[in-house]
Copies of this chain bind each other. A is one copy, B any other.
Amino acid sequence: MPILHLKMHPGRTAEQKKAFAREATRVVVETLVCPPESVEILITEVPKDAWATAGTLKSDG
């Protein structure tokens, strides 16, 4: 039931995503007390030309 949605830039390896999914699920289970099977994690990669901070696209940073 808890759904965790991560938005980040592209560029991480498959191994990094696996480690994130595994460890983030463990944190949800331990801190929020729920069964691991109930935890869904979605990862969205947002390109640097589609993400701005302080008005400037990261691709122009």
Chain A interface (Cβ within 8 Å of chain B)?
A: 1-9, 12, 14, 16-28, 30-34, 36-37, 39-46, 49-58, 60
> With A and B bound together, what is the CA distance between A18 and B45 in angstroms?
19
A17 touches B53 (CB 8 A): no
B32 touches A8 (CB 8 A): yes
- Of B14, B20, B46, which contacts A42 at CB under 8 A? B46
B1 touches A60 (CB 8 A): no
B residues near A22, Cβ cutoff 8 Å: 52, 55-56
A1 touches B5 (CB 8 A): no
- Of B1, B14, B23, B44, which contacts A27 at CB under 8 A? B23
